[in-house]
A and B are shown apart, each in its own frame.
Chain A
Amino acid sequence: MLDQAEGYTTADGRKIGGVVMEMKNITLRFGGVVAIKDISFDIREGEIRAIIGPNGAGKSSMLNVISGFYVPQEGEVWFHGSRRPPMRPYEVARQGIARTFQNIALFEGMSVLDNVMTGRLTHMKTGVFSQALWKGPAEKEENENREVAEKIIDFLEIQHIRKTPVSRLPYGLKKRVELARALAAQPKLLLLDEPMAGMNVEEKEDMSRFILDVNDEFGTTIALIEHDMGVVMDLSDRVVVMDYGKKIGDGSPDEVRNNQDVIDAYLGVAHD
């Protein structure tokens, strides 16, 4: 099992580090509806952490809590060893947490390259006047950031659509552009909300490969939500299972697969 301080080594020999993010007893309510009920789990450096569960289990709510879109009524969020005060989503993003959305949220009117460059906004420091004049440090900074963006565009194999307005792209490519934008921020933690929803088998395979490559190449810590059980079990190092806002399982894919509560939640159980 886990060594709390040091981390662990995965089946394929990757070293997983200490805790990056810890959720402690999170409860989130919308009026009378309890979306998340007293859930605790952690995310470790360099791992791919999945959150799964049937529809309406509260997975997306959990991701929104992590990225600051929702503020939980109870519980604490710990990031890099300190407790995070309630923050607005843009402040969370500036801390190094990037995300994608279940229903793609891209800047439709802008080109793919421009979209990816918005991911670099938090890394740009020079003033507005030197940027407008395109001189001195601003030029250097723009070029450096452009280089990072281009590298990620290459990595995700979307060079051929760099200048295309996003609104013209098919669904699968949009999903990939959204991933590119999130990666451009060089996040400490990457949140993926159903990265493979609505994709065909081939697109799913591509996306799985990219997620694994990102984790492998950049060492990015990833937390993802996914419905496709096969994909989740293949990709992730550890899995949290949610049902009706409660945590019913947490562990390696194999442990989760053999957990009776999880099987009941997914296959249904006779109520007598």
Chain B
Amino acid sequence: MPDQVVFAMEVTLNGLMAGVLYALVALGFVLIYKASGIFNYAQGVMALFAAMTLVGIMEGQVPFSHLINAMFGTDVHHFGWHLPGLAAILLTMVVMVALAWCVQQFVMRHLVGQEPIILFMATIGLAYFLEGLSDLMWGSEIKKLDVGLPQGLNEMIDNATYNIFGYGFFIDNLDIVATVIAALLVIALVAFSQYTKEGRAMRAVADDHQAALSVGISLNFIWVMVWSVAGFVALVAGIMWGTKSGVQFSLSLIALKALPVLMLGGFTSIPGAIVGGLIIGVGEKLFDFMIGPLVGGATENWFAYVLALIFLVFRPQGLFGEKIIERV
């Protein structure tokens, strides 16, 4: 097999893995959008907040330590413990549920029935608030996150491909783990929204608030639930991205990469977020590999957005989005 083809195969595989990570972030957006019609600008920052909280809890960092020290002249920084990954993840989830409750109680509850643009603006405010809160709570330095996920070159794939093609593929173990976790997450989320009464209630709330009330659905409960699930997805995305590239402010910018994914897959479809993520992941890697050299490279930065733009022209609801039907 010619070298170029083999190399393209490796690039495709890596693209698929990167796509899974995009999809993970996009999932959080889809969930909140499906259940409340809100485009949650804060999703990326939620991933950052979750990752920082996770690191902080694992390292036994005292939250708000700088603030406390500055106010009371003390010198506390650490509780002096190190928690195992799983325990810290569970504790972080508790924090994310508490955050969901606060968002509902202090922001969203007061905006029921408002225009979508107002709700969107509220989430922008939430994003900046969370950004500041994460720094205030845990400090702004770049942190390393290691919850015990395998990392580095997968030798099995390396050896196997070397034997077949005479060229070993470089596949990161972390990417494989991310793929498996994303697959499990999607299956769980689809089962949840399609087969449980909470899921059905969630879809009902997204469609019509009045009607949902009239069949006995508590809007408050559903929204806290939805923000909690979005917090959970943010946590998973935060763990994956944080392990890959360190926990730092730029983590919140991955949300921007999720936008074209959503336009491709459709804002209302969970499978759409996955397929959209994969297409963009593979697309940008292959495009950069094949067309990149002709135009001077660095196509990864804009390819996704151009693709999304083309989609907006021809299929505004995305690949899997609910078709917009208007009876006149």
Contacts and interface: CB of A to CB of B under 8 A. Distances in A.
Interface of A: 67, 69, 88-91, 93-94, 98-99, 101, 105-110, 114, 117-119, 121-122, 124, 128, 131-134, 142, 165, 167-168, 170, 181-182, 185
Given A128-B196, A133-B191, A109 B322 contact: yes
A88 B199 CA distance: 21
Contacts of B217: 90, 118, 121
Contact of B327 (A90, A133, A167, A185): A167
Given A107-B207, A109-B203, A167-B325, A185 B215 contact: yes
Contact of A99 (B192, B214, B268): B214
A121 B211 contact: no
Given A109-B322, A110-B204, A132-B188, A89 B214 contact: yes
A120 B256 CA distance: 40
Given A67-B214, A121-B200, A108 B192 contact: no
Interface string B300-328: 00000000000000000000001001010
A131 B327 CA distance: 35
What size tier do the contact residues of chain B reach? 20 to 34
B197 A101 contact: no
A99 B198 CA distance: 21
Contact of A107 (B208, B216, B325): B208
Interface of B: 188, 191-192, 195-201, 203-204, 206-208, 210-219, 268, 322, 325, 327
B216 A93 contact: yes
A131 B195 CA distance: 6
A108 B196 CA distance: 19
Given A105-B211, A107-B204, A128 B192 contact: yes
A118 B201 contact: yes
Contact of A90 (B196, B198, B203, B213): B213
A158 to B, nearest CB: 17
B214 A105 contact: yes
Contacts of B207: 106-110
B200 A114 contact: yes
Nearest to A133: B191
Q: Which of B197, B211, B325 has the most CB of A within 10 A?
A: B197
Q: Which of B199, B200, B217 has the most CB of A within 10 A?
A: B200
Contacts of B196: 128, 131-132
A102 B197 CA distance: 27
A30 to B, nearest CB: 16
Nearest to A169: B327
B203 A93 contact: no
A182 B214 CA distance: 8
Contacts of B210: 69, 101, 105
B192 A90 contact: no
Contacts of A108: 207-208
A52 to B, nearest CB: 22
Contacts of B192: 128, 132
